[in-house]
């Protein structure tokens, strides 16, 4: 098992003729993912790496099953692209584009809820279930991706795409491997938070524990703590909280758009206390995550 994607997942890439999307398409195909084509308005009839390009998402959904769509278009057009996929009935939309205006992101989430579509992102690298499939650019080239993401029993969630790879690589080197890794996105508003993905990991027999990379700013960690307290989830979680040095710098932002400390509740210190109160282990160093997970799994 896995969550969100597996070896049967078919998907399209919106903005497929763009430079970054062309590279992403090649990397996904090399990994064995089932990319069935892409969308760029006005480019119907062209091909990218042998895959058909259509003007609309509906051109694909009207003739075949489309399990997911990756939105890789400029910020000015990203909301329209995401809404097009949602209305066309695509159940999973991964938005890799960053710098989408918050108002537009909020509109995407509202429409997605109405249509029952799950959103990952914006400002994310995507999802990978090692040995099965990947949807998005997470992991980069197929060879390096296979080294970093080895099949295993740890679920990974991270606000940083790069740190998703870093954590997965450390888990693979430690012999734990990864069941599914999700780059959830670093923007202030995202489609699927830790708490919203946890029920999927809890229900996944292949996931025995979870590793999380987190940052100051926002309420995602508090929502996770609330979920853990109310759900009775027993799967071990080890988290790493980055950016502790900005706790004394209210209003400052480092890195992601969502990493903004506006008050005490946004600080790393406050979040760490909250996570530990519900039994989540918080690593002092990111390299400690594999050994801490091994310790927690040995106690289960």
- For the chain, the domains span 10-298
Percent of the chain topping pLDDT 90: 85
CB 172 within 8 A of CB 178: yes
For residue range 11-56, what is the model confidence (pLDDT) as tens digits?
999 999 999 999 999 999 999 999 999 999 999 999 999 999 999 9
Indicate if 49 belongs to the active site: no
Q: Among the options 118, 159, 256, 271, which is catalytic? A: 256
Structure tokens at 240: 């790493």
| 218 backbone dihedrals φ, ψ, rounded to 5° | 80, 180
Distance of alpha carbon 232 from alpha carbon 106, whole angstroms? 30
Distances (CA, A) of 34 to 19, 95, 149, 162, 228: 20, 18, 18, 24, 35
3.40.50.12780, 3.40.50.300, 2.40.240.10, 3.40.50.261: CATH of 10-298: 3.40.50.261
Residue recorded with tokens 């489609």: 191
Asked whether residue 184 carries a pLDDT value surpassing 70, the answer given is yes
Instruction: Kindly report the backbone phi and psi dihedral angles of residue 266, in degrees, each rounded to the nearest multiple of 5, phi listed first.
Output: -85, -10
Is a pLDDT exceeding 70 seen at residue 245? Answer: no
Question: Has this prediction a pTM greater than 0.75?
Answer: yes
CA dihedral 109, 110, 115, 121 (to 10 degrees): 0
For residue 102, the tally of other CB atoms under 10 A from its CB is 11
């Amino acid at each position: 098992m896995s969550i969100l994607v597996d070896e049967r997942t078919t998907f399209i890439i919106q903005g497929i003729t763009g430079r970054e999307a062309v590279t992403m398409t090649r990397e996904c195909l090399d990994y064995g993912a089932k990319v069935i084509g892409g969308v760029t308005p006005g480019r119907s009839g062209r091909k990218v790496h042998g895959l058909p390009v259509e003007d609309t998402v509906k051109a694909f959904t009207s003739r075949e099953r489309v399990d997911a769509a990756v939105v890789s278009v400029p910020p000015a057009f990203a909301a329209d692209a995401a809404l097009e996929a949602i209305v066309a009935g695509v159940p999973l939309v991964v938005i890799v584009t960053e710098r989408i205006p918050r108002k537009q992101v909020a509109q995407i989430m509202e429409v997605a809820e109405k249509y029952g579509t799950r959103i990952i992102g914006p400002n994310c690298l995507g999802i990978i279930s090692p040995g099965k499939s990947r949807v998005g650019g997470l992991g980069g080239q197929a060879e390096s991706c296979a080294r970093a993401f080895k099949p295993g029993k740890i679920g990974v969630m991270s606000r940083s795409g790069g740190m998703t790879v870093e954590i997965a690589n450390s888990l693979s080197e430690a012999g734990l491997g990864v069941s599914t890794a999700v780059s959830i996105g670093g923007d202030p508003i995202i489609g699927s938070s830790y708490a919203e993905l946890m029920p999927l990991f809890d229900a996944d027999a292949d996931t025995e524990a979870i590793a999380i990379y987190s940052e100051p700013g926002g309420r995602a960690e508090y929502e996770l703590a609330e979920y853990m307290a109310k759900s009775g989830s027993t799967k071990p979680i080890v988290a790493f909280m980055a950016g502790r040095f900005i706790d004394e710098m209210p209003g400052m932002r480092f890195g992601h758009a969502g990493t903004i400390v506006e008050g005490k509740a946004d600080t790393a210190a406050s979040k760490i206390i909250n996570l530990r109160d519900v039994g989540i282990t918080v690593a002092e160093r990111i390299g400690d995550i594999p050994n801490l997970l091994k310790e927690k799994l040995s106690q289960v």
